[in-house]
């Protein structure tokens, strides 16, 4: 999701107030239990509908919101708009938690009021990791990001964003060089892919672009989304072009202009997700 720098400048408090909105009491309890267990200092506000959420917002500001897509009196998109319109409410992350999140993402049905999404199929441990990335981000020292960008100005700024998180950034200006690096590591036969995450621009100078790199990683090397997460940076606002990237195997998109907090959140989440045991 593309947001401007000022919109995401909100700083989460040491004791975050998290609002969980879902029509199912069981689902609300499951999510609340995960948050309270993993984020012991969080205060969870449970709401069954948009009406209850509006009342909760009137009672006090929140630091983060999770919502299902289907609600008794509307949907998650409408709930996101209600959060944005609430008086005295800072611009905070609104995360859709749904089994239909991926299809909504691919069809580009999310509005700009939704900050991010989470697919329920990933499991509760991944959900806790995902939300922790927003409210209590923690670095993963030494994790390697293979970064492909031919603009040295953009590359320098983005590299600094990632290195501030203690990440090791391996920057290549072209797809060919990045593929050569991956090929050399595969030939070594020691199981080291040469990177923990791939971050690439779509449009690159040279014969190969981000589409080609994604295709080679997923089909040529056979690396799945958990084995080598791929984040694709694009300034293309065309929903169908974005959907093509996701269907081709991109874990997520980072829309330009790049906002540091959102980029870091997405990178760290994908790195942590790749480290979770299968089925967690």
Residue 277: partners with Cβ closer than 8 Å, 6 or more residues away: none
Residues 36 and 72 placed together within one structural domain of the fold: yes
Residue 8 lies in a domain: no
Helices of type H across 194-234: 210-215
pLDDT of residue 13: 53
Single residue among 135, 161, 195 that ends a domain in this structure? 135
Domain holding 81, by residue range, is: 17-135
Q: What is the pLDDT of residue 278?
A: 54
The number of domains in the chain is 2
Residue ranges of the chain with per-residue pLDDT less than 70: 1-14, 108, 276-280
pLDDT of residue 6: 41
pLDDT at position 277, please? Answer: 59
Residue spans of alpha helices (H) in the chain: 25-38, 50-59, 76-85, 101-106, 124-135, 152-163, 175-188, 210-215, 239-247, 260-275
The per-residue pLDDT for range 64-83, each reduced to its tens digit, is 899 999 999 999 999 999 99
Final residue in a domain of this structure, among 84, 111, 135 = 135
Report if residue 226 sits inside a domain: yes
Give the pLDDT score at 186: 96
Q: What is the pLDDT of residue 82?
A: 93
pLDDT at residue 7, rounded to an integer: 46
């Amino acid at each position: 999701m593309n947001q401007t720098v000022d919109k995401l400048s909100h700083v989460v408090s040491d004791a975050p107030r998290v609002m969980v909105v879902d029509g199912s009491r069981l689902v609300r309890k499951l999510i609340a239990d995960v948050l309270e267990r993993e984020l012991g200092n969080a205060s969870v506000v449970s709401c069954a509908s948009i009406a209850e959420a509006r009342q909760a917002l009137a009672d006090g500001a929140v630091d983060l919101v999770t919502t299902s897509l289907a609600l008794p009196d509307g949907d998650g998109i409408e709930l996101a708009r209600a959060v944005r319109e609430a008086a005295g409410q800072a611009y905070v992350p609104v995360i859709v938690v749904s089994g239909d999140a991926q299809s909504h993402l691919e069809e580009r049905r999310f509005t700009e009021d939704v900050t991010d999404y989470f697919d329920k199929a990933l499991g509760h441990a991944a959900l806790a990791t995902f939300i922790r990335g927003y409210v209590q981000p923690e670095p993963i020292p030494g994790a390697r990001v293979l970064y492909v960008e031919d603009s040295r100005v953009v590359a320098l700024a983005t590299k600094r964003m990632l290195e501030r998180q203690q990440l090791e950034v391996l920057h290549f200006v072209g797809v060919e060089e990045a593929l050569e690096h991956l090929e050399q590591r595969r030939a070594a036969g020691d199981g080291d892919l040469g990177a923990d995450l791939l971050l690439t621009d779509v449009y690159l100078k040279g014969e190969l672009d981000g589409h080609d790199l994604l295709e080679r990683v997923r089909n040529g090397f056979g690396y799945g989304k958990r084995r080598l997460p791929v984040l694709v940076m694009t300034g293309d606002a065309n929903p169908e072009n974005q959907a093509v990237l996701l269907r081709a195997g991109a874990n997520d998109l980072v829309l330009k202009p790049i906002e540091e907090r959102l980029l870091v959140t997405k990178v760290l989440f994908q790195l942590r997700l790749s480290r979770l045991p299968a089925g967690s």
